[in-house]
Structure 1
Amino acid sequence: MKPRGRSAMRSIQGVFVLALGLYSSAALALGLGNIRVLSRPGQPLVAEIPVISSDPGELESATVALASAATFERVGLLRPEGLVSVV
């Protein structure tokens, strides 16, 4: 028979792992639709990319932002000079 404290710790670990699994699957629920380019050739790129979700609440709490210069550097990419904003 296991000591009571060890059994309780296993239960807590199980709940924690389950919660992480549910959280990560929810994070993967957002998707991107087809890009729609609004700018003409030779002009700065203006485009729309719909964000798709089966849960409207996810869209209300989602945030979109450009990656920082440090993030581009960390993954080994050059940040495009003309990259201005995401609206």
Structure 2
Amino acid sequence: MTDHPSTYKGDATQHKGIQWDDRAALHRKGDGDGVLDGAKGLRSGTFAELIRHVMLLPQAERSDYYIEKLGDREYHIEEIIDLSRSDGFPPS
């Protein structure tokens, strides 16, 4: 996972492209964010794992959820679908 900065030998920790192995959490839309936002996650795993999970949900339910990734970046269903279909999406 790339979310911990390193100063060992001054190596860069930021890599180009999407970091599929970054930590992420699945949330229900409208869960209120706030101070306890981290505790409201329904499921956690890598970004790629959670994209796969959302895509396995019934189509009518997918828009009820979003993925929160490293740095509080939220990905909603339109982006999740696009990422699941991207050329760089890792195979399971």
Please state which structure has a larger fraction of its residues in helix.
Answer: 1
Length-normalised TM-score, structure 2: 0.24
Relative contact order higher in (CA < 8 Å, ≥ 6 apart): 2
Length-normalised TM-score, structure 1: 0.24
